[in-house]
Amino acid sequence: MQITDPTPPTTDASRAAARRQQILAAAAQCFREHGFHGASIAQISKIAGMSAGHIYHYFENKEAIIGAIVAQDLETLLTLTAELRAACNVRNALIERAAEGVLDQLDPASAALKVEIVAEAARNPHVARIVREADEACRRELMVTIRAIRSAAGHDDTPGATADMVEVLAALFEGLLLRTIRNPDLDRRRVAQRIQLAINDLLDQPG
Partner DNA sequence: TATTCTAGATCGAACGCTCATTCTATGTTA
Partner DNA sequence: TAACATAGAATGAGCGTTCGATCTAGAATA
C-alpha dihedral over 113, 114, 117, 122, to 10 degrees? -140
Among the candidate windows 20-28, 61-69, 123-131, 145-153, which touches its own copies by CB under 8 A? 123-131
Taking the complex as a whole, the smallest distance from the CB of residue 173 to its own copies amounts, in Å, to 7
Taking the complex as a whole, the smallest distance from the CB of residue 93 to its own copies amounts, in Å, to 21
Long-range pairs of 155-163 with CB within 8 A, sequence gap ≥ 24: 155/207, 156/207, 157/207, 158/207, 161/207, 163/139
Residues 56-95 that bind DNA (CB under 7 A): 56-57, 61-63
If you count them, how many residues does the chain have?
A: 207
- How far apart are alpha carbons 129 and 136 in whole angstroms? 11
Which partner in its own copies, DNA, none is near 103 (CB below 5 to 8 A by kind)? none
DSSP state of 122: T
Q: Decide: 91 and 152 in contact? Cβ < 8 Å.
A: yes
CA 28 to chain CA centroid, Å, is 13
Site pattern 9..48 for DNA (x: CB under 7 A)? ---x--xx--x-------------------xxxxx-----
Q: How far is CA 140 from CA 33, 56, 60, 135, 147, in A?
A: 33, 37, 32, 9, 11
Q: Which one of residues 44, 45, 98, 116 is an interface residue with its own copies (CB under 8 A)?
A: 116
For residue 111, state whether it binds its own copies (rule: CB under 8 A).
Answer: yes
Binding site for its own copies (CB under 8 A): 32-38, 108, 111-112, 115-116, 118-123, 128, 131-132, 135-136, 139, 160, 163-165, 167-168, 170-179, 181-184, 186-187, 190-191, 193-195, 197-198, 201-202, 205-206
